[in-house]
Amino acid sequence: MAISATVAFFKSEFVAALSDGRRIERHDWREMAQALYEIGVQCSAIEYQWHTGQRMITAGQQVALKAEIRRLAHAATNHSVQSRIAAA
């Protein structure tokens, strides 16, 4: 089952509530992207949430977070392919 995440920005931290009940907090969107990637959250499974009194995650941050997850997945795929080619 794929894990999804709802990401908000609260008190200077990115906070992700995961569909499996876990919660992740990071100060930087790159750190959040890395953490979400490592637990298997795909960029298509991320939603953003905003509540009164919170700062909204900017459109640029939203795009950057998803793009970083895509980049990490692409880099891992390329590394895996290169490792198989080197082993052959």
Q: What does the pLDDT average to over 22-26?
A: 97
> Would the pLDDT of 88 be above 80?
no
Hey, what are 51's tokens? 């509540």
Where do the structural domains in the chain lie, given as residue ranges? 5-87
| DSSP state at residue 54 | S
Cα–Cα distance measured from residue 42 to residue 62, given in angstroms and rounded to the nearest whole number: 14
pTM of the prediction?
A: 0.83
Cα–Cα distance measured from residue 70 to residue 50, given in angstroms and rounded to the nearest whole number: 24
Hey, what are 3's tokens? 């894990």
Secondary element (H or E) of residue 48: strand 46-48
Q: Categorize the per-residue pLDDT at 58 as very low, low, confident or very high, splitting at 50, 70 and 90.
A: very high
